[in-house]
Structure 1
C-alpha cells in the first residue's frame, strides 16, 4: 500500500531523505518546516535506527563515556516529516524508488541522498576482521568494552588524521594504564600552522602516546599490526581510523559517481546525471573554487540546509541557487581538558591564528555541541531564512532571491 493510500491524502510531491546524520537531519528539519503548510508535499526520512548518532563524539563513546540519547523521531516532531526506520538496500533511479529491508518500497519525486561514510577497512588485509572502528555507536561501544577489560597492554590507533588524534588522546587520558601507539603516513597535525602542530605533539607526548609517523600498515593480525617494512607491533586492540568509504548504492543505481563512489553534483548539489537527486554530506563530491570538499560536519550541515532551500525553491517554481562554502576552523580535542583550534582560510589552509588549552576547549565545546539546539532553531525560523552554524555563532541567512 502506498503512503498516499495510507493517509487518504493526495501527495503531489514526495521528497525522500536517505540518512539522518548531521547533513540529512539538517535537510529534513529545514525542508519539512518550510513546506509543512503546503498541500500535497510529503517529506519522509529513512534511517537504519531511531537513535541520532553524534559522529564527532564517538571517540568519547569508545572510552566508555555516556552521551545524551537523541531520538530522530523526537527531533522531527513538529516539522511534519515522517520517519521510516530501515536499511536502504537499493535505489532505482529510473523508477525513482527506494527499497528498504528488501520488502518495502518508497517512491519519490525528489531524493536527498545523505548516506554518509564509514571506516574503510577494505584496503588492508585483516582490518575488517581484527580492527575496531568508529563507524557507528555500536562499533564504538564494542571498543569501549574491550578497553574496559584490558588491565594493561597496547592499543594501536591506525591513522594520524583528526579522528586518530582525538581517539588516541581520549584513550590515553581515560586509560592511563594502557600503552597507546598512534600510527600514520603523516605527522599528527600536519595541516596545521607550526604553533598548533607543536601544541598537538606536546599534548600527545604529555599523554604518553607513542607517535610513529611515515609508516603504513600492511596487515592487521589478531594480536598485532604488520607495517609495510615488515616490522610487527604487538597490539591488544587496534582502532582503524585510516580513511573512509561510502555506500555502493549510488553507483549501483547508475548515478554518476567519482572514483570514491561519491555522487558528482552540479553547483546546486543536484546529481549531474539525475537532477531529481540531491547529494549532501559525505555522500557528495561537491566542487568549489578550491577543489572538492572533504567530509566534515562543518560542511555537511550547510549542504543539507542548501538542499532543503533548493528543493523549496523548485517547488515554488524558482531555480535553485549555487552552493558556496568556505571552511572556517579545525577544532581538535586532546582529551577532556585540552584542545587546539586551528582557524583556516576558506580552502581549509591554516591561518596564523589558533587557540590552545582551556580557551580551545570552551570554543570547541560550543561549536561542536549537540546539534539539537540548531535543529530546534531551524524549526522556529520563518520561511525566508535559514540557520548556518559558523564559528560558534548561528547566523541567519536569507534565502537567495
Structure 2
C-alpha cells in the first residue's frame, strides 16, 4: 500500500453501513491507494428486520461480520465509538484507540427512544434487547402484553407475539390506527388479521409507563404484565457533540450527495442522516438505508478517481408487513410512499416479505465480488 493511501473509516455495520463497506471493498479490491476500516460494537450482524422474531424466542442465523470481510479489502475493528474529532480527523474507540481518516462514513443508526415518555426506560423492554423480552414472555403462563407504538414495528411485534403465545392477551397501543399508511384494501386485510390473531387495538397518547400498566392522556390505563416499546427512535449524540451540523433529532444534515453540509469529508447514511428528497425527508428503513450505502460507496470511488460526486435520488417501492409467520400484507407505493393500487396478501405476501428480510446478507456477499451490480436505490 502506498503512503498516499486514502483512509476510509465506516462507523457502524448495520444495513446501510455494511453495504457501504462491501461495495467499497469490492470496488477497491485491486487498488493500492485506499484502506477501508469498519468499526462496530459487535461481530454479529443484527438483522433488525427480524427482531420481532427474536422477541418471541426464535433463533436466527449467526451472521459474523469479521468472517464475511475476511480476505477482503476491508478491516473489521470491534469497539464502541466514543468520540469524533473532525478537525484532527480521528475517531476514538472505548479502549482509547484512535483511528485516523480522510473520509468518514457515519452509519451509527438509531435505537429505541425509551426516554421520550416517563417510565418507559425503567418499565418497558425494547427490540434493542429482544432476547430479554423473549425470556419474559416465555415465563408468562397468562397475562397482558402491551405493545407501545402502532407503526410497522409495533404491528409486526404484536402479531408475532399473538401467534406464538395465544394464551397471552396482546394489546397494540398507539396514537394512529395501525396501517394508516396503507391503501384501503391492504388496511382492511391488516385489520382482519389483527382480529383473527386476537390483538386488541387501542388508540391514545401514552403519557407514562408503570410496572403494571400504561397510562394514557385523559385518564385511561392499559394494564400490562409486560410492555414492549416500539414508539420512536433516537440517534447517537456523537455527531452533534463533534460539531457536525445536525437537525432537531440529532441526524447529520446532508447535501445532495449525502455529505455533511458542515464537514464534506463526512458522509452520513441510513437512520443517522437527515436526507431531503423532493417529497420531503426520508425516514429510516432498510429499504432506504441500503441505497444510501451503495450510493456513498460509489461517490467515494468517484472522488478517488477525481470525478465529481452525483446527487442521491430515492423513491420508495413498498411497505412490507409480516403478520406472524404465516401471513403478511405488502402495500406497493409511489416514490413518495403514498399507496399505489397494487398489493399482496396471504401466502404470496409471506414469500415476498421473507425474500425482503433475507436479502441483505447475500447482497453484502455479492457486492464484495460484483460491486458494480449493487442496486443504487429505486430511482424515480
**Taking structure 2 as the reference length, what is the TM-score of the superposition?**
0.97
Report the Cα distance in structure 2 between the residues aligned to 1:292 and 1:322, rounded to whole angstroms. 15
Asked if the contact 1:30/1:386 (under 8 Å) is kept, the reply is: no
Partner of 1:265: 254
Asked if the contact 2:294/2:376 (under 8 Å) is kept, the reply is: no
Asked if the contact 1:90/1:249 (under 8 Å) is kept, the reply is: yes
CA positional deviation for 1:44: 0.2
Partner of 1:63: 56
Report the Cα distance in structure 1 between the residues aligned to 2:73 and 2:95, rounded to whole angstroms. 26
Of the three residues 205, 210, 233, the one matched with 1:216 is 205
CA positional deviation for 1:381: 1.3
Q: Which of structure 1's runs of 4+ aligned residues deviate more than 4 A?
A: none
Partner of 2:354: 365
Aligned with 2:181: secondary structure? coil
Partner of 1:189: 179
Partner of 1:157: 147
CA positional deviation for 1:326: 0.4
CA positional deviation for 1:119: 0.6
Report 1:291-306 matches (<5 A). 291-306=280-295
Higher relative contact order (CA 8 A, sep 6+): 2
Asked if the contact 2:105/2:268 (under 8 Å) is kept, the reply is: yes
Of the three residues 367, 375, 378, the one matched with 1:378 is 367
Residue 229 (structure 1) aligned with residue 218 (structure 2): yes
After TM superposition, the structure 1 stretch with the greater mean CA deviation from structure 2, 61-70 or 226-235, is 226-235
Report the Cα distance in structure 2 between the residues aligned to 1:227 and 1:315, rounded to whole angstroms. 54
Partner of 2:375: 388
Deviation readout 1:52-111 (Å, 9 max, x if unpaired): 000010000000001111001112133210000000011111111111005111110000
Residue 200 (structure 1) aligned with residue 200 (structure 2): no
Asked if the contact 2:149/2:175 (under 8 Å) is kept, the reply is: yes
Partner of 2:162: 172
Report 1:22-37 matches (<5 A). 22-37=15-30
Aligned with 2:194: secondary structure? helix
Residue 142 (structure 1) aligned with residue 142 (structure 2): no
Residue 123 (structure 1) aligned with residue 104 (structure 2): no
Report the Cα distance in structure 1 between the residues aligned to 2:4 and 2:26, rounded to whole angstroms. 17
Report the Cα distance in structure 2 between the residues aligned to 1:287 and 1:22, rounded to whole angstroms. 20
Q: What is the alpha-carbon root mean square deviation over aligned residues?
A: 1.4
> Where does structure 2 lack aligned partners over 5 or more consecutive residues?
none
Of the three residues 221, 246, 256, the one matched with 2:245 is 256
**Taking structure 1 as the reference length, what is the TM-score of the superposition?**
0.92
Count residues with an aligned counterpart: 379
Aligned with 2:296: secondary structure? helix
